[in-house]
Amino acid sequence: MTATLLFLPPRVGDPWRWLRIEGDVVTARGQGVPEADDAPVVAVAPADAVTLHWAALPARTQAQAATAARIVVNDACAAPQDQLHVAVGETDDDERAIGVVAIDRMRGWLDGLRGLGIDPAVVVPAPLLLPVPEEGFVRADLGGQSVVRGASSGFADEPQLTELVTAGAATETLEREALDRALVAAVAAPALNLRQGPFARIRRREINWPLVRRLGLLVALLLLALLATDLVRITRYSLAASRLDAQADSLARQGLARGVTADGDLAAKLDLRLAHLRGPGQGFTRTVAAALAAIRATPGSEASALDFQSNGDLRITLIAQSDAEANAVQARLRDAGFAVTPGAFESAGGRLKGDVTVRIR
- Please indicate, yes or no, whether residues 126 and 16 belong to a single structural domain of this protein: yes
Residues 6+ positions from 78 with CB-CB distance below 8 Å: none
Give me the CATH number covering residue 173.
Answer: 3.30.420.380
- Percent of the chain at pLDDT above 70? 88
Residue 219 binned pLDDT confidence (cut-offs 50, 70, 90): very high
- In the predicted model, is pLDDT for residue 137 greater than 90? yes
Question: Residue 340 belongs to a domain with what CATH number?
Answer: 3.30.1360.100
In a domain, 258, yes or no: no
- Domain C-terminal end among 182, 199, 216: 199
Q: Is residue 52 located within the same domain as residue 130?
A: yes
Instruction: Domain count for the chain, please give it.
Output: 3
Residues 23 and 156 in one domain: yes
Same domain? For 31 and 116 the reply is yes
**Within-domain flag for 298:** yes
Domain match, 274 and 285 both = no
Q: 41 and 102, same structural domain?
A: yes
Residue 208 lies in a domain: no
On whether residue 260 sits in a domain, the answer given is no
| HEC letters along the chain | CEEEEEECCCCCCCCCEEEEEECCEEEEEEECCCCCCCCCEEEEECHHHCEEEEECCCCCCHHHHHHHHHHHHHHHCCCCHHHEEEEECCCCCCCEEEEEEEHHHHHHHHHHHHHCCCCCCEEEEHHHHCCCCCCCEEEEEECCEEEEEECCEEEECCHHHHHHHHCCCCEEECCHHHHHHHHHHHHHCCCCCCCCHHHCCCCCCCCCHHHHHHHHHHHHHHHHHHHHHHHHHHHHHHHHHHHHHHHHHHHHHHHCCCCCCCCCCHHHHHHHHHHHHHCCCCCHHHHHHHHHHHHHCCCCEEEEEEEECCCCCEEEEEEECCHHHHHHHHHHHHHCCEEEEECCCEEECCEEEEEEEEEEC
Give domain status of residue 14, yes or no. yes
Quick one: 246 and 339 in the same domain? no
pLDDT reading at 113 higher than 70: yes
Mean pLDDT of 351-355: 90
Query: Residue 204 above 80 pLDDT?
Result: no
Domain containing 40 equals 2-199
Q: Is the dihedral of CA 342, 346, 350, 355 positive or negative?
A: negative
CA-wise closest residue to 77 among 48, 46, 52: 52
Q: Is residue 225 part of a domain?
A: no
Confidence band for 235, pLDDT divided at 50, 70 and 90? very high
| pLDDT at 280 (0 to 100) | 62
- The residue ranking higher by pLDDT, 52 or 206, is 52
* pLDDT of 133 over the 60 cut: yes
Compute the distance between CA of residue 193 and CA of residue 260 in angstroms, rounded to an integer.
100
The CA-atom distances, in angstroms, between 340 and each of 248, 318, 345, 354, 355 are 38, 13, 14, 13, 11
CA distance 241 to 66: 76
In this structure, the answer to whether residues 245 and 328 fall within a common structural domain is no
Same domain, 165 and 299: no
Higher pLDDT, 244 or 248: 244
Instruction: Please tell me whether residues 119 and 191 are part of one structural domain.
Output: yes
Same domain, 153 and 59: yes
In a domain, 215, yes or no: no
Q: To the nearest 10°, report the CA torsion of 178, 179, 185, 189.
A: 150
pTM of the model: 0.55
What does the chain come to in residues?
A: 361
Cβ neighbour number for residue 317 with a 10 Å cutoff: 15
Same domain, 303 and 272: no
Q: Which amino acid is at 311?
A: N
Question: Is residue 224 in some structural domain?
Answer: no
